[in-house]
A and B are shown apart, each in its own frame.
Chain A
Amino acid sequence: MNIVISEDDLVGPLREALLVAAVAGMSGALRVTGDPGGTIHLADGRVVGIDTPGAPGPEVLLLRSHRVSEPDWDTAFAAAAATGGPLGAELVKRGLIGSGELEVLLWTTVADAMFVLASGSVDEYRAEPGPVEFVLPLDPGAEADWLLAETARRLRVLESLPARPDRDRVVAVSGAERSGDRLAGGQSEILALADGRRTPRDLAFALGRGVYGTLLQLARMHEAGLLVTASYRAGFQFGARKTAHPAAGGKPVPADGLPRRSKDPAALARRVVPLGRTRDLPATLGLLRPRARRDADAGETP
């Protein structure tokens, strides 16, 4: 794979993390600290799922939308747990969702969560190679290239939108709910929930929809004069994404700041990769490489 780090890359530090993991064919978790932060689950270098407080996962989407009923979900969950089989296959086998529909849903949630992680702030990330631990993994996972391109596209769109995912608390304009016929599908639902307390992220959870889709819907409603931003969430870090990503032409990172190989591969895997210190790809690659290969390279093959 040809890795090009563009200077004006919108996705920020997670771009490198995903590309390095893809090249290394890493399986395990990429823990992202920040706001909202989360965990990117990888299998063979592909993203199979993302846990983040910032975006609803597949379970929320399926249950809140009533696509799958809670008793059905619980039964399938218990059955999958009993056999040790994948939950996705169990849902499909029980006729609760089509395999194609499930795949689309899982792609959607991965893309949505990646967009949310990248639009927030990233303080640091660290790779934890190991088994994949995600309740509904996408199989095969999303390729880093595709996911990054899609995330960049969404971030570009976001720049033109009036509300940020977890910053603006939106409120319905008084009388908006009486607009009747002018309301498009789903808009009255949003108006009922837009009480000035909820951010787009909160609305997405309440509705059981993706954050990105909710933002687009909210932008249309802003434009139509149906709702406005009531206040900003104080905890939100303004412009954090831009400061977290090293600026173009920034100072080179001192070589002694790079992660070093250690005799203990587990300790190495736990090590935090500070931002701006991941430019030396071969060094980072060593960090992300599966344990067996790393041991072999270090001449520590058992």
Chain B
Amino acid sequence: MAEDKLLAEMQALRDRVTGVTGTAVASRDGLIIREDTGGTDPDNLAALAATALALSQRLATEAGHGVLREAAIRSSGGHVAVYAIGATAVLVLLGDEGLDIARLHRESRATVDSIEKLLL
């Protein structure tokens, strides 16, 4: 089942990158597709992530910086990162203070590509 493969991709990212506490995939209109958030409300997360992605893309375009690679939010207690999956979906990732950002940059691209293929 595509959905189980989707969840496996999300869990694999959590396995590979130290400090990832959860992930979720949502549609661009903010509806949850699959979640592995470990407690964070997935519906709220999906809605906010879709909005954050849309805003970040507009911000990047306004600044003339080209294609958005990642929208990252760093707080005193952790990280949230949002990625575009094609034109239809969004990946949101939660991490703690120790999130291995260097490794996340290396690994996230492949995960986004794999998820995009699964959602086709």
Contact = CB atoms under 8 A, between A and B. Distances in A.
Contacts of A233: 15
A264 B91 CA distance: 44
A290 interface: no
A216 interface: no
A25 interface: no
A56 interface: yes
B98 A235 contact: no
Given A63-B76, A234-B12, A201 B97 contact: no
Contact of A235 (B15, B76, B96, B99): B15
Interface residues of chain B: helix, strand, loop or mixed (majority):
loop
B15 A234 contact: yes
B100 interface: yes
A281 B97 CA distance: 37
Nearest to B17: A235
B38 A205 contact: no
Contact of A205 (B12, B97, B100): B97
A55 interface: yes
Nearest to B20: A202
A217 B92 CA distance: 33
Nearest to B22: A197
How extensive is the interface on chain A, given as a class?
20 to 34
Q: Which of B17, B38, B96 has the most CB of A within 10 A?
A: B96
B30 interface: no
A16 interface: no
A166 B15 contact: no
A150 interface: no
A265 interface: no
A53 B19 contact: yes
A53 B12 contact: no
B18 interface: yes
Interface in B75-120: 76-77, 96-100, 103
Interface of B: 12, 15-19, 21, 38-39, 76-77, 96-100, 103
Instruction: Give 9 nearest A-B pairs by CB, closest first.
Output: A53-B100, A234-B15, A53-B18, A235-B16, A235-B15, A205-B96, A53-B98, A60-B97, A197-B38
12 contacts: A37-B100, A53-B100, A55-B98, A57-B97, A57-B98, A59-B97, A60-B97, A201-B18, A201-B98, A202-B21, A234-B12, A235-B16
